[in-house]
Structure 1
Amino acid sequence: MHGEMYYQQNIPLMLWFFCANPPLEDGETTVCDGRQFFNQISSSTKELFSKNKLKFTVRIFKEDWQKKYQTNNLNTLEEMCQKNNTHLTVNDDQSIILEYISSAIIPSRCGKYQVFINSLLPTKQLSPKILKFEDDSEIPEDVLCELNEIAEKITTEISWQKRDILMIDNTRILHGRRGFADDQRDIYIRLCSPAFSF
């Protein structure tokens, strides 16, 4: 479960999903409420995250960052990083290291409650070495177990039917996906900001 692109400052505020073709079985999209998630977290874990921000650190080779950012100009890349509040280090071989620091818990857009929404859980599962606390200490395993248990407990599964549409508030609702084995599943996603008051 995660918020989309919470490893950078400029996140999409809204996500749209469209089911062009459902899987033969499994492959549900999962969602849960970040406000409810926050309320389920233990006091000790809330305190831990209030005192320690997350730090995402990734190394990207020259050819890869030039393709990803569609530029070979380091000054242009540096401007992009500054706008996204990301620290850039350029190595001798022109590979780069990007560091982005964020909170795991954020205020809601209305400012009335706290929301647990971030990219912590999938990052620790898929690329564990790139995510630590800001002081470079490891996120304790028992904390990760607690978060995964909460996510599983409060998750709602969405079983897709052809032409279904789903809209997600990416400032509050975490999402994920169940595994599937067939090659039929075809779900489109669009990332955006709403053209109305949000």
Structure 2
Amino acid sequence: MSTSTGARRLRADAEQNTARILAAAAEVLAADPAASLERIGEAAGLARATVHRRFASRQALLEALTEQLNQRYLSALDQSRMDTAPPLVVFRRLTEIVFELKVSHRFAMELMGAQDGCRGGLSPEVAAGLEQVFDRLREAGEITATGADWCRQVYLALLHEVHQLPDDAADLVAAGSSRPELVVRSVVGALGGSQRS
């Protein structure tokens, strides 16, 4: 085996281990936010030394989870077809995708919500993407609120609150049991939109 082939295999193994650790961390930390790196390693099927080689500290692991989720947010913004679809359609698509993330990455979403004040742990790129969505909604007359931070805070807060609602909550039933639809209607209403939206 050549040196370059060996190096590629080591890199591939390291990337695979990192992905396994992050997946295990998201699952374990959702059940127990205080779980140790050792416990996360066990869930990933890896030795503690391997986990520590990939992540020198618990903080480094949490930062990697946040970065991974930011990348998924960016992907969601891209999938919402922001440049081509009508703004309200973009907002609905984005919200549907974010709810899928919220279900599968609960701990990371909660971690992001606890960081960086009004941005909620969002990267500058994700915050700018959300701002662009709200700019388009404003230009289309769907909302009247102008503060980027305020729009983002309202959206993130309502995402969290609607996610916490029991399945039989009256407002959720009125929205056809669609959490994304309830968020969209509530955010548009809170930001000065009309009921027609």
Please give the range of the TM-score, normalised by the shorter of the 2 chains.
Answer: under 0.3
State the TM-score, normalized to the length of structure 2: 0.28
Between Structure 1 and Structure 2, whose CA radius of gyration is higher? 2
Q: Normalising by the residue count of structure 1, what TM-score does the alignment of the two structures yield? A: 0.27
The structure with the largest helix share of the pair is 2
Higher relative contact order (CA 8 A, sep 6+): 1
Greater strand proportion: 1
